[in-house]
């Protein structure tokens, strides 16, 4: 297999990895905020449900969660599993897992805000929702960028776990090429692709952090 063919195959796998990455962020970031708000709710039942959810999703391996989401329709409900469901199972598992981590990051950011800001907003006539959206949330986003960046970088590497249910992301493709060609070149090339992906994301997140330096 020529190097150009190998790189073409890896790029196809990289596209799948990127889709897993992008869709996970698209859904887990807002879901994490909702979970965080539920975790801080005055409703005891909701607060405990969110606490248990976060505990389970952070306390069990992501690969196990992927297996559970993928196989549970068949073993629990007797529903046949199609090949197309593999990708959806990965997205569902990743979103649920990362939402739990993002929820705790959001919660730590929100709870770090001084109480005086809420009191000042109340004096100025802001409602609770206006206070949160216009005053608190922009500052929280600024504060949580570093830990969110760490999770995002971890997510890029975690996309390789999709190989567990035979989703053809980049690591799966690299492993297949290495086994067929008996060479480490595919793994080295995949490592370079992962590094470039991580470097670009870290650079973009740094730009976002600098852009939000207004909220100090």
- Domain edges within the chain: 3-214
pLDDT of residue 49: 95
CA 74-78-80 angle, to 5 degrees, is 60
Q: Residue 89 belongs to what H/E stretch?
A: helix 85-111
Q: Residue written as tokens 């981590």?
A: 101
pTM over 0.85: yes
pLDDT of residue 97: 97
Which of 104, 106, 107, 99 has the alpha carbon at shortest distance from 28?
A: 99
pLDDT band at 216 (very low <50, low <70, confident <90, very high): low
Tell whether domain 3-214 is in CATH 1.10.3720.10.
yes
């Amino acid at each position: 297999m020529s190097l150009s063919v190998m790189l073409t195959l890896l790029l196809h796998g990289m596209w799948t990895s990127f889709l897993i990455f992008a869709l996970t962020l698209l859904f887990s970031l807002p879901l994490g905020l909702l979970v965080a708000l539920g975790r801080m709710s005055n409703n005891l039942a909701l607060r405990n449900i969110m606490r248990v959810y976060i505990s389970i999703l952070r306390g069990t391996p992501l690969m196990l969660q992927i297996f559970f989401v993928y196989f549970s329709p068949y073993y629990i409900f007797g529903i046949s599993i199609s090949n197309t469901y593999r990708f959806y199972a990965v997205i569902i598992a990743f979103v649920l897992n990362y939402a739990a981590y993002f929820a705790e990051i959001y919660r730590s950011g929100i709870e770090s805000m001084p109480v005086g800001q809420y009191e000042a907003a109340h004096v100025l006539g802001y409602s609770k929702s206006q206070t949160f959206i216009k005053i608190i949330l922009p500052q929280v986003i600024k504060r949580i960028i570093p830990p969110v960046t760490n999770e995002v970088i971890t997510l890029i590497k975690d996309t390789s776990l999709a190989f567990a249910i035979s989703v053809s992301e980049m690591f799966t493709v690299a492993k297949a090429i290495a086994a067929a060609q008996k060479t480490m070149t595919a793994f080295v090339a995949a490592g370079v692709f992962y590094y470039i992906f991580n470097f670009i994301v870290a650079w973009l997140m740094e730009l976002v952090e600098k852009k939000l330096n207004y909220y100090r």
